[in-house]
Amino acid sequence: MSTGPIPTVGVFDSGFGGLTVLKELLPLAPNARYLYFGDTARLPYGSKSPETVARYAVQAAHFLESHGASLLVLACNTATALAFEQTRAAAHIPVIGVIEPGAAAAAGISKTRKAVVLATEATVASHAYQRALAARQMQSLEKACPLLVPLVEEGWIEHPVTEQVARIYLNEAFSGEFEQADVLLLGCTHYPLLRPLFQRLVPPGVAIVDSAESTARAVAQTLQTGNAPASASDKPELHFFATDSAEKFRRLGTSFLGRPIQQVVHVDLRE
């Protein structure tokens, strides 16, 4: 465990999904201070232009920096895919996105060098995962799954409709030359909530890589706390900010974070 001041980690997402990154991070780096910013008033980012997404991400980065963040986690696949370089250039602190860690984890375990990536339409259109995997000598099929995020946010994690939708997406993806794919990469931070469902539905021998989990490990490594297990006395300091209803954020966010969210500060970011 490194000594020195407690690091302050700023975690940014367009909404709730990035809470799955934070959930994975808390046990790995329990001694940090965390600031979570959800731009819930302006989601979804997937329907917006890259220029708009970059503007929003830079605004969020500056907000988190002004509140003391010493490391920024872009816990949003769309923002990472469309605006990572712009955010990194505008920030004065290190920035970690969700795509590179996920791709690295997938490449590390694949034998067939073929992966299926499930993501939102905007992330798929950017081909960010395809590029990251190709750089690691992996072929990938990127599958847009626009129905999954609303189903997760509706709380229909165990619903038969969600299972039917997921089955259709997976059957379409694991076909043709990608029948041989041996990794399913979850390229959206909502999808970890569906991991048990995917586990039941994927072909035998397919490993699931969760980009939220991979990103948390990369952040913990950067903080040099990756090998420091949480003890009973470790209570991470958590602060939540949202640009829309604080009450809705508390209610919906709890299922993503896996623990109650006590207080959310409403923020109005001026254009």
Selecting among 76, 82, 106, 116, the annotated active-site residue is: 76
CB atoms within 10 A of CB 65: 18
Residue from 6, 20, 8, 71 nearest 252 by CA: 20
* Residues 207-265: tens digit of each pLDDT: 999 999 999 999 999 998 544 444 444 678 999 999 999 999 999 999 999 999 999 99
pLDDT over 70 percentage in the chain: 94
Four-point Cα dihedral 57, 71, 183, 53, nearest 10? 0
Q: Contact at 8 Å (CB) between 76 and 51? A: no
d(CA 116, CA 180): 10
Query: Strand (E) positions, 193-261?
Result: 207-210, 237-242
- Which DSSP category does 93 fall into? S
Selecting among 19, 152, 188, 219, the annotated active-site residue is: 188
Residue 72 in 3-state DSSP? Answer: strand
d(CA 58, CA 88): 9
Cα distance between the two ends of the chain: 41
Residue from 130, 189, 226 nearest 11 by CA: 189
d(CA 178, CA 161): 25
Task: Name the range with the highest mean pLDDT among 2-11, 18-27, 231-240.
Answer: 18-27
Please tell me the number of Cα atoms within 13 Å of 140 on its side-chain side.
30
pTM: 0.93
145 catalytic, yes or no? no
Select from 3.40.640.10, 3.40.50.1860, 3.90.1150.180, 3.30.540.10 the CATH code of 99-211. Answer: 3.40.50.1860
- Specify the domain boundaries for CATH 3.40.50.1860 within the chain: 8-98+215-266, 99-211
188 catalytic, yes or no? yes
What value does the mean pLDDT of the chain take? 93
Q: Does domain 8-98+215-266 match CATH 3.50.50.60? A: no
